[in-house]
Amino acid sequence: MKDILIAGKYRVDRKIGVGGFGVVYSGTDLTSDEEVAIKLTFVRDNPEVLRCEKETYEALAGGVGIPRVRWFGQECDFYVLVMDALGPSLEDLLNYCDRKFSLKTILYIADQAIVRIEYIHSEGFLHRDIKPDNFLMGVGRQGNILYTIDFGLAKEFFDAERCKDVEGLALGGTRRYASINNHNGREQSWGDDLESLGYVFVYLTRGSLPWQGLKAGTDAEKDARIKKMKESLSAEALCDGFLPGEFVTYINYTRGLAFDDKPDYLYLQRLFRRRFRAEGFKYDHVFDWTEKLFKERQSQVSSAVPLTRRLQRRAPEESSTNVGTARQPRSSEKILEQTCS
């Protein structure tokens, strides 16, 4: 795909991801030299999916943490969606941070993720595929902002409401994070997005979920085994030894929502904000990956200077480097550039 131009101005550079409904490439806007994300899907494969996703992005345009659509159209055998480039996903960052986030980072993520989902719901949409891969950090001045992407399975609540009494629906989204209602063949609603988010929190602190790796002969059998385990594991069991009681409350609350129950998003936010303050954390926008990158860069700078020169720079009474005045790289910097390339 390299050196292919989209709409005469967007150059396709390299593949960065594959989804259920297309392939995502990193590209360049040749008129501004800005990096962009380019999603392509074959016209013959689910021709309306990318168009519907584009329309969802446009309906949500202007919301914090919603990427901007730059261009949509058909090029040869592809439908193409060009959007602003973003940073690494929470899945990428979890790998970078040795498969575990601290409580502070998870509380930061929870605060923003609930706000994103509330906004999507307030505009009349259900995401229906909440998972770490679909949350990305911004770049540049938006580097502290959590973005929500991939609305290929999104549905307007009005459409979902018409099917709320239908049973036996196929599992939608990603089974690992699917709600119990979703496993039971029921139409998804507001609470299902939030329940899936609860499993994301557990995954980000444990590094995996208890139902990962279950073996089965068919997909249907695997779905049934995962469903059975989810139903048998209480919120307390999921969080025990990993997350405080606020997350137990969150999961129990979201599991208990009926189809027509409108979630109290502010209540959920306040749960986590109280815990953040109780832990004595500072609102400094320093995530686990920010801190790790800073330490790595410190180490690189230190090792690049000969030991004798480093010793000579110290005042006689000093025994360690004063890092208090060193510039920490802002979490707005595009981190993991090398691992995401």
Question: pLDDT > 90: what percent of the chain?
Answer: 81
The pLDDT of residue 332 is 35
Provide the 3-class DSSP secondary structure of residue 263: coil
Contact 340, 88 (CB under 8 A): yes
For the domain made up of 8-84, the CATH class stated in words is: alpha beta
| Amino acid 18: pLDDT | 84
Whole-number percent of the chain with pLDDT over 70:
88
The total number of residues written for the chain in this structure: 341
Tell me the average pLDDT across 131-148.
97
Strand partners, 81: 39, 72
Compute the distance between CA of residue 274 and CA of residue 271 in angstroms, rounded to an integer. 6
* DSSP summary character for residue 142: G
Cα dihedral 242, 246, 249, 253, rounded to 10, equals -110
**78 in Cβ contact with 43 (< 8 Å):** yes
DSSP lists the bridge partners of residue 80 as: 40, 73
Average pLDDT of the chain is 90
Q: CA neighbours within 13 Å on the CB side: how many for 76?
A: 7
Instruction: Check 84, 129, 192, 223 and give the catalytic one.
Output: 129
Per CATH, 8-84 and 90-278 having the same topology is answered no
- Residue 317 has a CB neighbour count (10 Å cut-off) of 5
The CATH class of 90-278 is mainly alpha
Q: Where in the chain are the domains?
A: 8-84, 90-278
In angstroms, the CA 171 to CA 100 distance is 28
Q: How confident is the model at residue 2 (pLDDT cuts 50, 70, 90)?
A: low
pLDDT, tens digit (0-9, with 9 covering 90-100), for 270-329: 999 999 999 999 999 999 999 999 999 988 887 766 645 544 544 444 333 333 333 333
Question: Is the CB of residue 49 less than 8 Å from the CB of residue 21?
Answer: yes
Summarize the confidence of residues 152-171 as an average pLDDT.
Answer: 95
pLDDT at 3 over 80: no
| The pLDDT value given to residue 46 | 75
Q: Among candidates 124, 13, 10, which has minimal Cα distance to 75?
A: 10
pTM exceeding 0.85: yes
The annotation status of 39 as a binding-site residue, yes or no, is yes
Active-site residue flag, 288: no
Q: In what order do the strands lie in the sheet with 78-84?
A: 5-6, 10-19, 22-29, 34-42, 78-84, 69-75
